[in-house]
Amino acid sequence: MLEAIYTIISLQLLILAIVPYLVLRRWAVNLLERCAERRKHHFEPYVLNLLNDPTAIEPLEHRLFPGDRKFIKELLLQLAAQLKGQDRCNMTTAFEKIGYVKNEMSALLSRRWWRRLEAAINLGTMQSQMAVAALIDAVRDPVEDVRLAAVMALGQLNEPRGLRLLIRIIEEGDRWTGSHIVEALISMGPEITSKIIPRLEATTNINARLLYVQICGLLQITEALDSLFLLLRDPDKETRISVAKTLGQIGDVSAVENLIISLDDESWEARAQAAKAIGSLGDKQAVDKLKRALSDENWWVRHNAADALYRLGEEGIEALHETSCSEEKAPRATAAQVLAERALGV
């Protein structure tokens, strides 16, 4: 028994020994952080000047201690994240000249996964085209976080090879990884349109198609309208819901006729999204149909229809007023609430 007590007590002392170490470490870290702050302040003017003239980095190189490199890098990356346009391009040039890009590209091969993760993220921030090939390799990394970071970085680089790869991943991968790719793709902007539309029609993978539909909405790709109209009648419920939402986001009034038909869809989500989309598109021919949708059994459909009516202007608002005096409880309550909310401006 006594041995047990001794073991426990020694364990206790061992753990307690960690505490002074941590206290000292904390004191030291606090001190170092204060020094680091001062050093950072010292470098800030030089770093900011780089925004005006990227070649100014050369004189800077010579005065650097190893610890300073880290500050400069951090500072530069933080600044880069806050900029876009010509200034960002200037920073990219600066990064390439100092050698950070090469540095991070070799870090992509590090054995520690968090270092690879950091490298992928930094390469995305630096937006240097030199790193494309390395990032494409990193998309095959065994660790999920690194793969995602590489994908997002390729999105920021806006490069055709990267685009092809991302599309291939959508076709292969599962839905969840796909949503990050959607973000990466939309950050590339409208240039990807010509690649997306053929995939939208050709793909047999339902999940992939859902992602393409989503992208069409987020990038407002009007060229995809015809394909989308066809998909609005697709047997898959999720597809119909997603297409209805997308048609609202694209903002082309020609979609209204098709959406009106969707107000009779068997899925309430599809009906609700259709009502919402019609509201965004603003075509008065929908007023009667929307008024009928106010009697839908589902709360969301009624609510979105009421909202849409309000947005359609005079005729819509009049329809709402009529319904708010109707005998049926549900449409009356919905119309009344939406009228009151809009009147307040919420």
Residues of this chain that interact with other proteins (CB under 8 A) are 1-2, 4-5, 8-9, 11-12, 15-16, 18-19, 22-23, 26-27, 30, 44, 48, 51-52, 78-79, 81-88, 113-114, 117-118, 121, 145, 149, 152, 176, 179, 182-183, 186, 218, 299, 303, 330, 333-334, 336-337, 340-341, 344-346
Give the span between the Cα atoms of 181 and 155, in whole angstroms.
Answer: 8
Specify the residue, 103 or 229, whose C-beta has the smaller distance to other proteins. 103
Tokens of 11: 């364990």
Shortest distance in whole angstroms from residue 86 CB to other proteins: 6
Largest CA distance in the chain: 90
Shortest distance in whole angstroms from residue 294 CB to other proteins: 11
Specify the residue, 258 or 334, whose C-beta has the smaller distance to other proteins. 334
Shortest distance in whole angstroms from residue 235 CB to other proteins: 21
Shortest distance in whole angstroms from residue 259 CB to other proteins: 20
Specify the residue, 226 or 341, whose C-beta has the smaller distance to other proteins. 341
Give the span between the Cα atoms of 139 and 180, in whole angstroms.
Answer: 13
Give the span between the Cα atoms of 95 and 128, in whole angstroms.
Answer: 8
Specify the residue, 121 or 163, whose C-beta has the smaller distance to other proteins. 121
Tokens of 201: 């029609």
HEC readout, 267-313? CHHHHHHHHHHHHHHCCHHHHHHHHHHCCCCCHHHHHHHHHHHHHCC
Which is nearest to 98 in space by CA: 132, 69, 125, 130? 69
Q: Which residues contact 77 (CB under 8 A, 6 or more apart)?
A: 122, 125, 126
Q: Which residues contact 266 (CB under 8 A, 6 or more apart)?
A: none
At position 24, the amino acid (one-letter code) is L
Specify the residue, 1 or 204, whose C-beta has the smaller distance to other proteins. 1
Which SS3 state, helix, strand or coil, does residue 143 take?
coil
Specify the residue, 5 or 62, whose C-beta has the smaller distance to other proteins. 5
Shortest distance in whole angstroms from residue 285 CB to other proteins: 25
Shortest distance in whole angstroms from residue 187 CB to other proteins: 9
Shortest distance in whole angstroms from residue 25 CB to other proteins: 8
Specify the residue, 105 or 146, whose C-beta has the smaller distance to other proteins. 146
Q: Which residues contact 38 (CB under 8 A, 6 or more apart)?
A: none
Specify the residue, 229 or 333, whose C-beta has the smaller distance to other proteins. 333
Give the span between the Cα atoms of 135 and 153, in whole angstroms.
Answer: 8
Shortest distance in whole angstroms from residue 307 CB to other proteins: 12
Specify the residue, 64 or 333, whose C-beta has the smaller distance to other proteins. 333
Determine how many CB atoms are found less than 10 A away from the CB of residue 4. Answer: 8
CB 80 within 8 Å of CB 43 = no
Residues in the chain, overall count: 346
Shortest distance in whole angstroms from residue 300 CB to other proteins: 9
Backbone angles phi and psi of 90, in degrees to 5 = -60, -40
